[in-house]
Amino acid sequence: MQISRRVSFVAALVLAVGVANLAARAQSVSAPVLRTVYSSNRIMNAVTTTDTGHVFMSFPYWGGGGQGPTVGELLPNGTMQPFPDAAWNNWAQSHDALHSFVRVNAIRIGPDGLLWVVDSGEANVGGKPNPAHGAPPKLVAFDPVTRHPVHLIVLRQGTTQYSYVDDLRFHNNTLILTDAGDPALILVDLRNGTQRRVLSHRPCVTDERPMRAEGHILMTGNREARVHADQLEVSPDGKILYFQPSSGPMWKVAMADLENTSLTDTQLNARVKLFYDTPTTGGTAIDGDGNLYVSDVDRLRILKITSDGKATVFIADPRLVWADAMWITASGSLWIPAIQLNRTATFQRDGISRVKLPVNIYAIDAHLKPSRQY
């Protein structure tokens, strides 16, 4: 079926409005300019690019908006091609859990140049246990040129019946994942496949306060929504992991401590430090200078937080409705999917979607330095 979309790489320059001050330490900044790089009637929740210009996007199962691939490559002519092929995007027909995408939640080009896909499997979030014999969560890494799978890692060892594997970052041979369903971090050693859960149910990974978006508490039916360990970034020098539940705040821990298998979980937790009291966040990015870009989905803006914890408003714009997994391209542009998650049926008391189509990916040509840790 034809995917409804509109691609515009030459959008009119529009001055961002409503740049606010951030508490006493905030500085007044000139508003950057947003341009639209992709528009769709299907909700996408992540975008990632190779240094050679390949563009990949993921479309979550909850997004609606008609048929189309779960993972797609945006071609130069503006069409969305299933990646790596149609079979991997045909779970509904094949039910081949190891060779098709079930519920993709994140995609990233890793420092190894591979396209990594985080597939949460047949998982639920914050509700009943995941089906005992359902499709398991997995990681799949593809060569973006040959389109062949290089790694397939089934995440049975590092997950529980309540897990919802959410996002992924890299440090040498360690893969770091967040568990948004059963709060924890999951560490995977690429050398031997070992999977470890750490900081399980600690405050640093647990959503303990209301999530707010566009001035409202985020609800799932008649109860407050909870999204546990979600956003994470590795510092450019590989020494620090920043991480948080979606509601904030953000914490940090030394990668050396995180990877130290001799530490007990209590000892590791004692080395976790509060970094910044972030607001409800949809997505983050980090640049090569160690600055974090954190979306504030309540006030429709992106905060820039330095490595020493000083924050300013990078951009505020009413179009940034639930800015999700951001990406810094090789040319230094910050790409921002504004996916309107809080307006989807899942987060409406009456179960009726209030998403205003199309959903857009915006870019700010800010000449940022990419981080090779991703």
Summarised one tens digit per residue, pLDDT across range 199-233 is 999 999 999 999 999 999 999 888 899 999 999 99
Residue 249, in any domain of the structure: yes
- Structurally, the chain folds into a number of domains equal to 1
Distant-in-sequence, close-in-space partners of 146: CB < 8 Å, separation ≥ 6 = none
Cα–Cα distance for residue pair 235/258, rounded to 1 Å:
14
Distant-in-sequence, close-in-space partners of 43: CB < 8 Å, separation ≥ 6 = 59, 60, 62, 63, 64, 65, 339, 340, 341, 344, 355, 359
Cα–Cα distance for residue pair 136/237, rounded to 1 Å:
33
Residue 96, in any domain of the structure: yes
| CA-based max dimension of the chain | 56
- Per DSSP, what are the bridge partners of residue 184? 179
Residue 77, in any domain of the structure: yes
Residue 39, in any domain of the structure: yes
Cα–Cα distance for residue pair 135/102, rounded to 1 Å:
7
- 3-state secondary structure (DSSP) of residue 78: coil
**pLDDT value of position 133:** 87
As given in the structure block, the two tokens for residue 300 are 């429709």
Tell which residue, 351, 343, 345, 350, has the closest CA to residue 324. Answer: 343
Phi first, then psi: what are they for 345, rounded to 5°? -55, -35
Distant-in-sequence, close-in-space partners of 12: CB < 8 Å, separation ≥ 6 = none
**pLDDT value of position 350:** 86
Residue type, 365: D
The number of C-alpha atoms within 13 Å of 368 and in the hemisphere containing its C-beta is 26
- 3-state secondary structure (DSSP) of residue 56: strand
For 275: left if phi > 0, alpha if psi spans -120 to 50, otherwise beta; the answer is: alpha
Helix (H) or strand (E) holding 267: helix 265-270
Residue 371, in any domain of the structure: no
Between the CA atoms of 283, 286, 292 and 297, what dihedral angle is there, to the nearest 10 degrees?
-10
User: Domain range spanning residue 43?
Assistant: 5-365
**pLDDT value of position 333:** 97
Residue 372, in any domain of the structure: no
**pLDDT value of position 280:** 98
- DSSP 3-state helix, strand, coil percentages of the chain (rounded to 5)? 5, 35, 55
Q: Return averaged pLDDT per consecutive 10 residues of the chain, 374 residues in all.
A: 36 31 40 89 95 96 84 95 97 94 97 97 84 94 98 96 97 97 97 96 97 95 92 98 98 98 98 98 98 98 98 98 97 97 91 94 96 75
- Per DSSP, what are the bridge partners of residue 36? 362
Residue 356, in any domain of the structure: yes
**pLDDT value of position 163:** 97
Determine whether 204 is exposed, middle or buried from the number of CB atoms within 10 Å of its CB (0-12, 13-18, 19+).
buried
CATH number assigned to the domain comprising residue 102: 2.120.10.30
Tell which residue, 218, 70, 234, 220, has the closest CA to residue 167. Answer: 234
Tokens 């996007």, located at residue: 57
User: Is there a contact between 174 and 259 (Cβ–Cβ < 8 Å)?
Assistant: yes
Tell which residue, 65, 154, 138, 67, has the closest CA to residue 106. Answer: 138
- 3-state secondary structure (DSSP) of residue 34: strand
**pLDDT value of position 8:** 37
The conformation of residue 87, written as its DSSP 8-state character, comes to G
